């Protein structure tokens, strides 16, 4: 039995940012205003923790509501006392992530009428044993139902033409490909098991399974272990579905084994002919709408796909699940030919824990063409017909080929993190990944210098220049000791250090580092070379900052020619260089020329980047800034309205890109129409507050812009309110020495100075300097 001490390790009523990362697909929550340290409560808490290590306990209604609202990736099972039942149902029953509600009370009859009104209520329970058994049954069912799709239009010519959906699809394929290139050894197995033990430290059943795996596992038993639906099944499926990088990396040992076994066993089916398989599930209604709109396109599940040869087994899964307004019942009918080269599957029914399901398991990255979608009145379900296909695989190969070439310069360990940082733009996840490598690898590992270098790159992208410089210099010193002076990694380190000095405004030092890097690259690569072009481009940018625009344009012209020789016609590096040329012309006063280059940049980026990428809004802002300087405000606003219509149709009503466009519109008109500008800022803030996960940096920028506008019109209390809120966000999300925090402190000091509160002004000015 659990003791009070062990249960106190998880405090009640945590704020969303105090909750540890949930590694499973399910989030169990218990809300009860009378929760205390009595024996019965502690025992129930202990049993719930065994079921779901991430379970959270609340006696405070508002805290619980905040936590439920913050959950993005998990499906919620909520246990609620009778006293809170009506209140919580009114406010949360419509949330799609809330899939099951269990009322735990002393009076069954009193709350029975609620079951007719709310269809997510599984039952009303007065006994602990009945409650726990019902939760277990629902958890098993929900875990089997979880499914995430990526869409890919194989008609798109190359990576540059990809939609946001298709880009996400290929990046998922890339992550798995790189993961499978990593070395597999006893250390990677131990790393996986240590992580699992730590996560399930309060679950005796799973700890026993982990120990059994440690002592008995061999590669040929990979399918048996996966279908056992124990710790492996739960954590691996969540990692694949959400692209949880830390979990995926920790599970590389098992992923490689399971993929290898499916590939081997697929050979046994080559002469069996096409099979028809089924999967019954409930998916969100918007997911079905998306599938209907993409007939003829390719779909892939983000994980191993479990199907059955028996249609009745699949229909059974649908009927066991209660109906919901957010979800709809779907039967996938899949035709698969074992002769396909890239879609691999195998029979696993004889090794499954539950016999009689006639289970067939598809490997990762299997592709299916959507053939038809129709309502089947016989079974009362939507039927989606899929054909397993090799179509589109050549586009995947085309993209993977780029990776293979780049992986000649970087090991799979490093390239995996580079994917996160550069391709996916997931700076925080990349930072966690590289720091995890630093902790887990021996100090003399050959990748250590590259890890420090990429930790520096993470800090650079966060504008944390002192931390970036420290890590870049560590990497450079290690490389100087390990490599010859003309090695490309030496030049890369010099270039990176130069970029920091440029960002800090020390242009002469930056120029010196860039020139050193260029000398190394010119000796290594006398003709056109991508890295050499990038350094030449950086030198141009320093001359722009030094306001020597003619010299800057000379370097940019040279860089652009070199980029065009070594890159495809549409590429982000070319777009970036076009933007730099536009910037130099803008600063020279050549507004028409600047506008042309900015338009070229944005047109190219719209071809290369996912539609939700923040750079598209930033560089739209460059065009609009020129229109503003040319006093063509109406033309700028018209362009904004056109972009807003497209953005809302593609991204929904609440997305950071929409907020960025509204902020740009506010900036365009704030001098002539401050009240309307303020309305745009408030709309942008509302969009950001309703978007999950929160974009803290953009929210802070919006608040700061609002504060500036209020300050301009002597509305100092409103300005102070916005600046204080921005400071609160910055302190929660940025390092303590970040320049944004210093700027926020200075802005607050200026507000107090304008309000004649000089003591407070002085305090904030001093804080900004420290």
**Torsion angles phi and psi, residue 386, rounded to 5:** -120, 145
What pLDDT does residue 178 have?
74
What pLDDT does residue 365 have?
81
Lowest mean pLDDT among 78-92, 209-223, 340-354: 340-354
What pLDDT does residue 6 have?
46
Residue 540 near residue 553, CB atoms below 8 Å: yes
Q: What percent of the chain is modeled with pLDDT above 70?
A: 91
Assign 478 a pLDDT band (cuts: 50, 70, 90). Answer: very high
Report domain extents, the chain: 4-145, 158-265, 274-396
Mean pLDDT of 182-199: 88
What pLDDT does residue 407 have?
62
- Residue whose entry in the numeric block shows the structure tokens 């005796």: 204
What pLDDT does residue 456 have?
98
Mean pLDDT of 518-524: 96
Mean pLDDT of 459-480: 96
Would you call 33 helix, strand, or coil by DSSP? coil
Which DSSP string do the residues of 312-340 spell out, in sequence order? HHHHHHHHHSPP-SSEEEEEEEEEE-TT-
- The pLDDT tens digits for 354-389 are 677 899 999 988 889 999 999 999 999 999 999 999
The DSSP H or E segment spanning 622 is: helix 614-629
- Whole-number Å distance between alpha carbons of 113 and 290: 36
Residue 155 near residue 309, CB atoms below 8 Å: no
Answer yes or no: is pLDDT of 228 > 50.
yes
What is the gyration radius of the CA atoms in the chain, in angstroms?
28
Answer yes or no: is pLDDT of 344 > 70.
yes
Nearest to 45 by CA among 101, 2, 91: 2
Lowest mean pLDDT among 404-408, 529-533, 629-633: 404-408
Angle (CA) 314 315 320, round 5°: 105
What pLDDT does residue 694 have?
78
Answer yes or no: is pLDDT of 8 > 50.
no
The DSSP H or E segment spanning 370 is: strand 368-376
Angle (CA) 564 565 568, round 5°: 60
Answer yes or no: is pLDDT of 333 > 90.
yes
Angle (CA) 756 717 715, round 5°: 95
User: Strands 56-58 and 75-81, how do they pair?
Assistant: unpaired
Assign 230 a pLDDT band (cuts: 50, 70, 90). Answer: confident
Answer yes or no: is pLDDT of 687 > 70.
yes
What pLDDT does residue 184 have?
76
Give the architecture (CATH level 2) of 4-145.
3-Layer(aba) Sandwich (3.40)
- The pLDDT tens digits for 22-39 are 888 899 999 999 888 778
Lowest mean pLDDT among 190-194, 344-348, 435-439, 706-710: 435-439
Answer yes or no: is pLDDT of 172 > 80.
no
- Whole-number Å distance between alpha carbons of 380 and 699: 45
- Whole-number Å distance between alpha carbons of 766 and 770: 6
- Whole-number Å distance between alpha carbons of 380 and 552: 67
Nearest to 610 by CA among 356, 342, 351, 424: 424
Answer yes or no: is pLDDT of 661 > 50.
yes
Answer yes or no: is pLDDT of 152 > 70.
no
Q: Which residue has the higher pLDDT, 19 or 371?
A: 371
**Torsion angles phi and psi, residue 394, rounded to 5:** -65, -30
Nearest to 58 by CA among 66, 70, 50, 46: 66
Nearest to 214 by CA among 177, 254, 180: 254
> How many CB atoms lie under 10 A from the CB of residue 697?
17
Q: In what order do the strands lie in the sheet with 75-81?
A: 56-58, 26-31, 75-81, 98-104, 121-125
Let me know how long the chain is. 770
Residue 278 near residue 330, CB atoms below 8 Å: no
What pLDDT does residue 730 have?
87
- Strand intervals (E) in 91-174: 98-104, 121-125, 149-152
- Residue whose entry in the numeric block shows the structure tokens 């802005």: 747
CA distances from 214 to 23, 195, 250 (A): 20, 13, 15
Where do runs of H (alpha helix) occur along 652-715?
656-669, 674-689, 696-712
**Across the strands, what pairs with 372?**
385
Q: Which residue has the higher pLDDT, 271 or 394?
A: 271
- The pLDDT tens digits for 567-584 are 888 888 999 999 999 999
Structure tokens at 87: 């209140």
Mean pLDDT of 62-84: 91
3-class SS letters over 170-201:
HHHHHHHHHHHCCCCCHHHHHHHHHHHHHHCC
Assign 311 a pLDDT band (cuts: 50, 70, 90). Answer: very high
The DSSP H or E segment spanning 591 is: helix 591-608
Residue 697 near residue 733, CB atoms below 8 Å: yes
CA distances from 624 to 497, 658, 667 (A): 33, 15, 10
Structure tokens at 205: 């059943």
- The pLDDT tens digits for 721-747 are 999 999 998 888 887 778 889 999 999
- Whole-number Å distance between alpha carbons of 317 and 332: 12
Which DSSP string do the residues of 244-267 spell out, in sequence order? -HHHHHHTHHHHHHHHHHHHHHHG
What pLDDT does residue 323 have?
58
Residue 556: burial class (beta carbons within 10 Å; 0-12, 13-18, 19+): buried
- Whole-number Å distance between alpha carbons of 485 and 631: 53
Residue 135 near residue 55, CB atoms below 8 Å: no
Answer yes or no: is pLDDT of 768 > 60.
yes
Answer yes or no: is pLDDT of 531 > 60.
yes
Q: Which pTM does this prediction carry?
A: 0.66
CA distances from 495 to 275, 400, 553 (A): 56, 27, 20
Assign 155 a pLDDT band (cuts: 50, 70, 90). Answer: very low
The contacts of residue 303 (CB under 8 Å, 6+ apart) are 147, 148, 236, 237, 240, 241, 364
Structure tokens at 454: 């990429």
Q: Say yes or no: domain 274-396 is CATH 3.30.70.1530.
A: no
Assign 405 a pLDDT band (cuts: 50, 70, 90). Answer: low
Mean pLDDT of 147-163: 46
Answer yes or no: is pLDDT of 300 > 60.
yes
Average pLDDT of the residues of the chain: 87
**Across the strands, what pairs with 277?**
334
What pLDDT does residue 153 have?
47
Q: Provide the b/e sequence for 251-271 (b: ≥16 CB within 10 Å).
A: bbbbbbbbbebbeebbeebee
Would you call 383 helix, strand, or coil by DSSP? strand
């Amino acid at each position: 039995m659990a003791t009070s001490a062990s249960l106190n390790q998880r405090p009640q009523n945590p704020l969303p940012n105090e909750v540890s990362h949930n590694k499973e697909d399910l989030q169990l929550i218990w809300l009860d205003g009378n929760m205390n340290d009595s024996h019965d409560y502690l025992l129930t808490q202990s049993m719930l923790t065994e079921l779901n290590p991430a379970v959270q306990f609340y006696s405070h209604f508002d805290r619980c509501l905040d936590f439920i609202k913050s959950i993005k990736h998990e499906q919620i099972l909520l246990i609620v006392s009778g006293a809170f039942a009506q209140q919580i149902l009114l406010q949360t029953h419509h949330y799609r992530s809330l899939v099951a509600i269990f009322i735990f009370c002393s009076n069954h009859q009193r709350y029975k009428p609620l079951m007719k009104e709310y269809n997510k209520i599984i039952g009303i329970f007065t006994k602990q044993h009945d409650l726990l058994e019902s939760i277990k049954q629902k958890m098993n069912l929900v875990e089997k139902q979880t499914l995430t799709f990526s869409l890919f239009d194989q008609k798109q010519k190359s990576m540059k033409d990809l939609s946001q959906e298709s880009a996400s699809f290929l990046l998922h394929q890339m992550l798995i490909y790189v993961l499978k290139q990593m070395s597999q050894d006893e250390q990677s197995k131990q790393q996986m098991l240590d992580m699992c033990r730590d996560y399930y430290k309060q679950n005796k059943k799973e700890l026993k399974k982990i120990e059994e795996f440690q002592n008995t596992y061999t590669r040929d038993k990979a399918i048996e272990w996966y279908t056992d639906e124990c710790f492996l099944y739960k954590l691996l499926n969540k990692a694949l579905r959400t692209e949880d990088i830390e979990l995926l990396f920790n599970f590389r040992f098992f992923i490689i084994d399971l993929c290898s076994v499916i590939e081997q066993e697929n050979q046994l089916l080559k002469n069996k002919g096409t099979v028809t398989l089924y999967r019954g599930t409930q998916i969100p209604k918007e997911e079905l709408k998306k599938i209907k709109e993409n007939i003829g396109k390719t779909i892939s599940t983000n994980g191993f796909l479990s199907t059955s040869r028996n249609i009745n087994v699949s229909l059974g899964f649908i009927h066991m699940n209660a109906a919901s307004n957010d979800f709809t019942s779907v039967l996938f009918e899949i035709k698969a030919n074992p002769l396909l080269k890239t879609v691999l599957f195998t029979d696993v029914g004889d090794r499954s824990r539950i016999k009689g399901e006639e289970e067939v398991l598809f490997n990762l990255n299997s592709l299916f063409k959507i053939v038809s979608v129709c309502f089947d009145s016989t079974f009362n379900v939507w039927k989606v017909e899929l054909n397993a296909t090799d179509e589109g695989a050549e586009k995947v190969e085309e993209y993977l080929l780029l990776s293979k070439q780049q992986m000649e310069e970087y090991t799979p360990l490093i390239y995996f993190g580079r994917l996160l940082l550069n391709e996916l733009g997931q700076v925080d996840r990349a930072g966690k990944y590289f720091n995890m490598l630093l902790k887990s690898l021996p100090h003399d590992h050959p990748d250590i210098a590259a890890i420090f270098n990429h930790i520096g790159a993470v800090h650079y992208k966060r504008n944390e220049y002192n931390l970036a410089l420290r890590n870049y210099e560590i990497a450079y010193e290690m490389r100087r000791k390990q490599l010859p002076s003309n090695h490309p990694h030496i030049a890369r380190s010099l270039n990176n250090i130069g970029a920091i000095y440029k960002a800090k405004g020390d242009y002469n030092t930056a120029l010196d580092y860039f020139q050193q890097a260029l000398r190394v690259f010119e000796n290594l690569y006398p003709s056109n070379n991508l890295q050499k072009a990038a350094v030449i481009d950086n030198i141009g940018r320093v001359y722009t900052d030094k306001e020597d625009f003619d010299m800057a344009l000379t370097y940019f012209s040279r860089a652009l020619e070199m980029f065009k020789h070594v890159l495809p016609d549409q590429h982000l590096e070319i777009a970036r260089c076009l933007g730099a040329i536009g910037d130099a012309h803008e600063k020279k006063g050549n507004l028409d020329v600047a506008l042309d280059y900015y338009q070229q940049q944005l047109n190219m980026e719209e071809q290369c980047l996912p539609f939700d990428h923040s750079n598209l809004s930033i560089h739209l802002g460059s065009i609009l800034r020129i229109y503003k300087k040319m006093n063509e405000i109406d033309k700028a606003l018209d362009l904004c309205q056109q972009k807003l219509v497209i953005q809302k149709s593609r991204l929904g009503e609440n997305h950071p890109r929409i907020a960025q466009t509204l902020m740009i519109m506010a900036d365009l008109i704030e001098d002539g129409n401050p009240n309307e500008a303020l309305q745009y800022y408030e709309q942008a803030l509302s969009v950001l507050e309703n978007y999950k996960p929160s974009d803290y940096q953009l929210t802070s920028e919006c608040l700061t812009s609002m504060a500036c506008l209020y300050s301009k019109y002597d509305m100092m209390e409103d300005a102070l309110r916005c600046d204080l809120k921005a400071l609160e966000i910055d302190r929660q999300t940025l390092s303590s020495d970040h320049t944004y925090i210093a700027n926020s402190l200075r802005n607050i000091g200026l507000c107090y100075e304008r309000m004649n509160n000089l003591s407070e002004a002085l305090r904030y000015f001093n804080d900004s300097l420290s």
